[in-house]
Each structure stands twice: as structure tokens, then as C-alpha cells.
Amino acid sequence: MQRCLLSSPSTTNCAGLRLHPSLMPKLKVVKLVSSVPYHTRFRKLRPPPGLMLSQPKCGQALNFFSTLHNSFMFALPPNHLNYTLPWNRNVISTCMTSSVIRSTSAFVPLSKMFFSQSPSVAAKNDVMGVRDGKSSGFSFRRFNRHSKKLKGVVALNGNKGAPSGSPASISLLDNAKPDSTSNSLVNTARPDSTSTLVTNSKPESKVSPKKKKQSRSKNKKEQISSTVVSEEAHVAKSSKNSSLRNSTGNLLTETHDGSALTKKRSKKKSTSPNRRQPMGEDNDPIQKQVQKKSSQREKPLKQLYPPTGKSVMVVESVTKAKVIQGYLGDMFEVLPSYGHVRDLAARSGSVRPDDDFSMVWEVPSAAWTHLKSIKVALCGAENLVLASDPDREGEAIAWHILEMLQQQDALGENVTVARVVFHEITEASIKSALQMPREIDVNLVHAYLARRALDYLIGFNISPLLWRKLPGCQSAGRVQSAALSLICDRETEIDEFKPLEYWTIEVQLKFEESSTVVKDASFPARLTRFNSKKLGQFSITSETEAKDVQQKVNLENFKVINSKRNSTRRNPPAPYITSTLQQDAANRLNFPATYTMKLAQKLYEGIQLSDGEATGLITYSRTDGLHISDEAVKDIRSLVTERYGPRFTPENACKYYKKVKNAQEAHEAIRPTNIRRLPSMLAGALDEDSLKLYTLIWSRTMACQMEPAIIEQIQLEVGNCDESTIFRSSCSKVEFLGYQSAYQDEESETLGFKDNEVNRYSETFGILSSLKKGDRLYIGEVETKQHHTQPPARYSEGSLVKKLEELGIGRPSTYASTLKVLRDRNYVTVKNRVLYPEFRGRMVSAFLAHHFSEVNDYSFTADMETELDNVSAGLTEWKGLLRDYWARFSSYCSRAASVHIHQVEKMLEKTFGDFLFASLPNESRTCPSCMEGTLIFKVSRFGAGYFIGCDQHPKCKYIAKTLYGDEEDEESPQKNNNVEEPKLLGLHPGTNEKIFLKSGPYGHYVQLGENRTGYQPKRASVSHIKKVDSITLEDALDLLRYPLTLGEHPKDGHPVILKLAKIGFAVRHRRTTAPVPKAMKPKDVTMEKALKLLSSKDVRRSGRPKNKPKVEEEDI
């Protein structure tokens, strides 16, 4: 309900209503009731029950009328009527009448005097209200039509705007003057305007903030966020089924920062109007929402198990819901949300930096069905249990569900909302979590909002620039671009790598016949010292040097000069986290990261076992924590002792700590929920790949709580008499298996892999250990080996995930999706498990490095992850983080937008010049066609193509190399045809004109003659030929014969033509075209066959209908 205030110098007060003395004889007030609730949508011209007027002495004095936003405004001559509101805070009952008496003559409509919907910003001197020179903003809460009790209206502090979700205050006063005797309100009118909604987004401000037009949702599927972040001073209890709505009658718009409408509003003590409120948790809407719910209970959340009433639990998937339902019984109803119930609208403007980073949320149509099911289930329920996944995304899903249900009034006054988390889906874990409910973690929600806003701002600001500057390049992102930069930088290192040659000398050493060692036994050794000089990697750099060393070595006698033995302990590996699981699955099982996470999610959500039990098999798979619960550690150590013996169990449990940058360690490591559930027991319940992944996790979990393996090493040095030439041989063997027993276990056989270190070099180790100092040896065979230094290896999916983890880029939940995006955008390809960057991806990376260096910088992305983690911990204010980042990022966007596409072409040519021009037949970049121009890198006018062509275009249309076509269609018959264009095929035997093979925007073609002004050379398409480079002069002459006239049609005398079609040949008669079958050769098409083809069912007709009315032709 809107409020209206007029001023008057001298009035008579009557219970809050001030009437001018001159108007008193004309009106008789018989009854005035304050704050009587009524439905605002009453019929037009009906006076509100708050003001009842009778016996009007002037028939034209009264006129009630309806105005904007379902409330009634009024207008009277100046200095005749004044409404004022009691400023005493003890008086909560105020005059609520919105309809007023209006004279039909000489009155200015108040709707035009005091209201405007113009989006202009309020002036600095505009204030919400004035009392004794102090700002005093206030607003009214709208009454519910179902309310049966008398409700109060509370004036809000001048420091504080309308509460979140309440109707916004109306700015009516300007240049307020303090009055010591009465609370006068001075107002100024703004003609020719309608209505203004002003929200106070800065509680500490004494003046009215910027006027903002309240967003409205186009339909119920889209919820628009507002920016009201103010507090309440005095708020009365709302009715039980109160449903706040906006001025259009739709559901009230949501706030992006979580200020959902609560079912009850707590009574807060007011603060001084002039007291500034510090920015912090107390002013945060999400925090206030939690505080309000906590103040309603005035005690901690009670345990939800054993149940005392009906509870509705919401999880994310159907599988998880079925498993948990079996644990909890009929007192719980477990429903799935099917993931997120709303998300940022995928269009420009969904995050608004100029509007305090408000966000536009969109609800998928399918989500309404799931929300309706939850809403129906809540009827008669005492508890709503939000049990989404225990991470940032899960916390956000719980928050979204809560807000959506509150907006639909699905939560009654007695419904308790609780958040529970569990890291494994077992009966004990679920029931334990229900005994420890908590509130939604507002810091995690803030971190989610900040992350979504950052990713959106980067993606939706850089991507349009890519579309314009680099056609065909689809998107960029914060983590995605950093990962792409890693791959492209590695490719650049490989391109720039210069291999170096080096040689090594290896020999086979044998024993003398008198030796006690087994005859014919030998062992390898490598030359490490020659001519009393220690050999390095590049000491021998040519074959000549290697042959010289070989000859000298053959002339020497050798003996054992030194033997060393030592033992080392190889510690067990840490339990799996998300990144290491993806790496091992890629290295050992050849699973892509996306597929690994899909299988892991399936194992986490649970399956139906052969004995009828439904349970989750592993703990939550998106984690960077290395710790394991004490209870699970006890079970693991117990099973290790049973299967392998007490020697394999360490005295104390093994504990692991984070080594990853920015690790949060909020969850346990990935492990089986029941370590005694052996892989062999699941052979019939799981598919092959799921069983392999479970076995991998089971083996790693067993190994992490076992003794280290003991490795014994031996190193033998063999030299000549003066020890100027020395060979070295070394070998090792496993003395004690320790944790490696888990990988030698029969349960690990399903992996098809065993560690061969047990028998590795066992024979060689025996020979070396039998030798002692002084034993004579002789050279059996000398081998010289040539080597070249190798460039750094390209990333595999596993090694890229490891590198991202080391740099602190991304989070466990983002690794797989990042790799998938890079593949889907055709920025990288995967060949033999290795990631190769496409040239399109390299162009994107170079463009971002040149114009958005901060986004492409590894340290920036890692530091941003740290800041987001600080938001999760409550150490950083999320909007402040966004403001700081946006201030820098927006300047990058402005500069990049002003760059011309020719500048981008020059930058890419300079960056990739060697790569672009290396494959050309001539090293010279002079155009071979016109001999005047220079070959340059250019962007095609047609679609997303790039090519190397002459810079004298359009005078010279020579194209040396095409990089991408319009649509990279794998089925295109001419794909990967490398033709030097234009290619001269020869001369026409009749006209002696040149015949060229050329390429255009629609494919290759042959052309008779050269391009000349005023002359159109004859052309013929060759798109139906797969191998364009095999076209000869004879083929071109045959194609240039077409179109060929076969004769005249017997019915109308029009010609029947055999012509080249897009694919193959076709016959045409007027507007009718019929394709020639592929099996039929063009030279075999006669007039009779052509007529038969034209009468078949496969014909296609073009043009307008023959008997179409003339008027329609004109309209068309």
C-alpha cells in the first residue's frame, strides 16, 4: 500500500487526520478507524472502511477513484487537507486510508503530482522524510486479505529503507524544513510523471539513495533479483498466510544475496536514526534471514532423529532419494530436486554490476514440477530437511530451494527448516547427520554467488568480443582460459624446442672363466667416467667421438672397484582425492576425467545389492581432503591385519595432510563406505568399468593404512687399472612388500594390473650382490647409442588436472567440466590420451594473453580461488571482491572492444608466423599469382574461416592456405584437400584460354579464362568430386560443357537441360528439377531418360505456383 503526504500550514488534527478549518463545514467526519486491514482491491468509488463520510453538502465534493498499484490516491486544493502520520514510536496505529475525498473542480491529480516511474537518480537533497531536520524514511506493509486481526503499521528509521520484500518507500519530500512546534512535511510535485519506487541500499546514508526501478519477472519461471539490502527498525507480525507481492500482483522479486522472505519477522529494537551501521554480518540479508529464524526458535535446532513428526527431506537425485528412504521409514518423505531448481539466466544482463551486482535467476520449466511435489509433501509436515551435497554447490541448491518455497508460501509457521550434511550414504551416516542439523551456511552461499558472478562477468563480456574479433571462437572463462593457456603454452614450448644430440656408451660385463659366478652371466653397465673426467649428458655429442671412446674401452681390462648397498623405505600413497582419482583412472584405466566422475557419482549415490540392501559404495567424490574418519581407519587397519598379517599394519594410524595449494579439506578422502565390501562381492551388481573404479579406490584405501615397502638397492662400479675409466651398474629389489601387497591382492586382479617390482631385476640383483671388490671382469659387447633431447611432454587429462591442482586453479568439482568445455569448443583434441591444442584454441589463448593478460595469468586465477575461499570462511565480503575485480576487468573489455579486426590479424600473424607459413611450398611470402602482393593471415568474410592470401585483395584473390571453413563438416568430400589455388590446369584447345581450379565460399570449381572487368568467365562446380587435387585438364573440359541442352519438351517446347547440381548432375525443365541417379553417367542421359526422370516422384519445383492470384503476388 502506498502512502501519501501533503502539507498544510494550519490544520485541525483528528486522530492523525488534519483538516483545514475552511473545509470543516463542508465535511462531517462521523467515524475514523485506524489501521483496519482491508483488501486493497475493492471496487472503484467505494470508500475505505478507515474513513466513512456522510451528509456531503456539496454533491461534487466527493469523488473516490483508483490509482496506481492497487491503492487509491487523492488530490485536494492546496492548504485544504493534510495527512500526517504520528511520529511517536509508541503509537503504531496510523491512518491507513488510501482513498481520499476529491473535489471535481480545479484539482490537480496527485498521481501526476507526486509519483514518477522515470529511472532518474534521486538528487542528493532528496530525502525519505523529515522530522526536526532529521531523515526519517518509512513505508507501509501491505495487508493480507485473509488477515482477521488488527495489524499495525510501523515507521522505519531514516537510516533504513524498506525491508526486503516489502513495498518500497515513496520519495515525496524535498527541501524539508524543521519545525519546533509541529511535524510539518514539505513536498514538491513533479508534473507529468506516474510512480517512483525508491529502494534504500545504503542503510547508513542520511539522504535518499538512488531511485531504482523494481525489476519485474516476465513470467513465473524467471525470478529477478532486487538490490534492497536495508534493515528493519520496527516490524509487526505478519499474518499466518501472508504473501508479499509486487505492484503488478506477481510474486515479489528475489534478492540475489539471499534475502528471502521469512515466514515470521522478528521484533528488533530500533537504533538511532543518525547512527551509522557498520558493514558486516549484521547488515547481510542472508545472515539476517538465519538470525531471524534463530530468534524465532530461541534455542538450537532439535534433533530430527528419532522422528517426532513428519519430515520432508530433499536430496539431489532419485537414486539417492530411494536409498535414504529405505533407511528412514514412513516418518520421512525423501524427494529429489534433480539438481539446481534455478540458475542464472543464460543471457546478457543477468549480473548487473551497476545495480550492486544484482542477479537474474531463471527457473527451468521442469523444476516447477519438482518444487510442486515438495510443496505438496510439506502439507502437515513439521520439518523441512535440506540434504543436498556437502559442498558449495550443495549449499547453494539448499538455499535456492528454501527461497523458492518461501516465495510460494509453502512453509507454514510451524515448519522447521534444517540443513544436514553427510559424506557417505549409509544408514548410520544419515541418522547421525539428522541428529546434528544446522542452518544454511551463508558464507558458502556468498562464495557461490561470487563465483557465479565472476564466471558470468568474464564469460559474457569476453565471449562477444571473441565472436566479433575471432569468428568461430565461441567462449572464454576464468578457469577454462587458464587451462587452455597451459595447453597452448606447452605447445609453444614444443614448437620452439631445438633438439640436441648426445651419445652414451653401454657395455655388457662378463665374468672370467675362473669366477665362481654362473658362466655366461652378464650384466649391463654405463660409462660414467672417461680419461679421468666425469661424463655429463653432452660430453659425447657426435658419432665420431662415440666410436673413438668405444675403441679405447675395448683395449682395457676391468675389475670391481666399489660396491654399495642400502635400503630405502617407499611410503604408501595418500588416499584418493578428486584430482588424484582422475589421474590414476586416466593412467591405469584410460578413463577420461568426465567419465571417471560420472562413475564415481554413481558409486556414491548407491546401488541395490544382491541381498536387497541399498547403499552407497564410496564417500563423496568431490573433495580435496586427505583425512579419513577414525571409525573408518579402525576398520581398514583391522582388515589389513586379517588379510596380510600384523606385520603389514603400522603401529599408529597413518595421517595425511594437504599439499595442494588452496585445499579446503572440508570433506573426507574418497574411500569405500564399508572396506569389508570386497570388489569380488560386487561383481554381479556393478558393470565392468564401475567395478574397476571401485577396485582402484578399495586398493588405494587399503594401501594408505599399511606399512611402507622396503626397497634394497645395490650399486657397482667397475674400472680399469688406474680407474680413469669407470662403468656403473645398479639394481634394486623389494625386500618387504608392505603396502604393495594391496596391489598384489587377488581382489585387484579385476584391474588387470600388477606391480612387477617384485620380480624386476631379481636375476641381475643376484649377480651384482655376489661380486666383491677386486673381482675381474671383461668387456663382452660395447654399444654406442644416439639420443636427442626431447621436448616437454604434452599434457594428458591426468597430468593437466595435476598441474591445475598444483597451481591452485579451479576446484575438484570443476576439473572434469573444464576439460569437457575445451573439447566441446574444439579448442583441444584428444589423441591417444594426449591433449593437442587446435589452432582455434591457440588463437583464443593468444588473444586473451594480449588483451586480457590478467585473466590468462595463472597466479591471478589461483589468487582469485584464494579470495573465494576467504569468502567461504567469512573473511572477505563478496560484493567488495566483485567490485574490486570488476573495476579492473571492465577496463580490459573497453580497450579490447576498440581493437580493429585487422589489428587482431597482425597480432596473430606475428605470434604464429612460423606455424602459419611453414607449410607453404616457397619460403618467400611474395604472392606467386600477382608477384606484387605479400601473403598475409586474414579472416574470411564467409563464416568462421581463416586463410593465408594476397594482401592485394580484391585485385588479387590468390589463397595459399585455408585453415578453417564455414562449417567444419567431417562429411564434406573436399575436407583436407590441399590445393595450391588458383591452380592452372592447362589451356582450352579451342579458344587457347587458361583453365583454373579455384576455391570459393561454396567449394572448389573450374574456371575458363581469367577475371576481367565486364566479362564473366564460365565456371563449373567440382563439389561432387572427393579428391579435388586429382582433377585433370580433361576432367575440367568435360565439366565446362555443362549445362547441356538435350532437346525441347514435347508438351510446351521449352528446353530440357542437363546441368551440374550441388551434388552430382540434374535435369531441368522450366521450374522442375530432377536429380540424375549416381549410378547413371552424365553421357548416358538421353532425352527419353530425362523425360522419365522429370515425371518421377523425386522432382523438385521452384518458383511461385502457376495459378497464384495476382493480388497475392503483389503482396509478396
Catalytic positions, written as ranges: 620
Q: CA 391: distance to chain centroid?
A: 16
Backbone angles phi, psi at 936, to 5 degrees: -135, 165
- The single-letter code of the amino acid at 571 is N
Question: What is the number of other CB atoms lying within 10 angstroms of the CB of residue 868?
Answer: 22
Q: What share of the chain is helix, strand, coil (3-state, %, to 5)?
A: 30, 20, 50
Q: How far apart are CA 252 and CA 407, in angstroms?
A: 8
Write out the three cell numbers for 875: 573473511
What is the biggest distance separating any 2 CA atoms in the chain, rounded to whole angstroms? 142
With the CA atoms of 685, 689, 692 and 693 taken in that order, what torsion angle do they form, in degrees rounded to the nearest 10? -100
Which strand (E) or helix (H) includes residue 290?
Answer: helix 285-297
- Can you list the alpha helix ranges (DSSP code H) found in 826-936? 839-851, 853-856, 858-872, 878-897, 901-911, 913-917
According to DSSP, the β-strands at 828-831 and 776-788 are unpaired
Residue type, 149: K
Alpha-carbon distance 782 to 9, whole Å?
A: 117
Distance of CA 38 to the CA centre of its chain: 48
Q: Assign residue 990 a region (left: φ > 0; alpha: ψ between -120 and 50; beta: otherwise).
A: alpha
Beta bridge partners of 297: none
DSSP E strand boundaries for 228-353: 254-255, 311-315, 332-336, 343-344, 351-352
Strand partners, 359: 351
User: Quick one: CA torsion of 967, 973, 975, 980, rounded to 10 degrees?
Assistant: -120
Per the CB < 8 A criterion, the answer to whether 1006 and 1020 are in contact is yes
Residue 694 CA to residue 686 CA, distance in Å, equals: 9
CA angle 817, 822, 824 (to 5 degrees): 90
Determine which helix (DSSP H) or strand (DSSP E) holds 359, and give its type and residue range.
strand 358-362
Say if residues 707 and 650 touch (Cβ distance below 8 Å): yes
How is residue 790 written as a grid cell?
626431447
Collect all residues with Cβ–Cβ distance below 8 Å to 51 and sequence separation of at least 6.
Answer: 17, 29, 32, 95, 97, 99, 100
Distance CA 880, CA 884 (A): 6
Which three cell numbers, joined as nine digits, stand for 290?
538465519
Residue 885 sits at the vertex; the CA angle it makes with 466 and 474, to the nearest 5 degrees, is: 15
Bridge partners (DSSP) of residue 782 are 507
Which residues, including other chains, have CB under 8 Å from residue 135's CB and lie 6 or more apart?
127, 128, 129, 158, 159, 206, 207, 208, 273
Residues facing residue 245 across a β-bridge = 251
Please give the DSSP secondary-structure letter assigned to residue 1096.
S
Query: What order do you get walking across the sheet with 311-315 strand by strand?
Result: 332-336, 311-315, 383-386, 416-419
Question: What is the C-alpha separation between 453 and 475, in angstroms, rounded?
Answer: 16
Q: Specify the 3-state DSSP secondary structure of 1012.
A: strand
CA 950 and chain centroid, separation: 41
Residues present in the chain in total: 1116
Q: Which three cell numbers mark 625?
A: 581432503
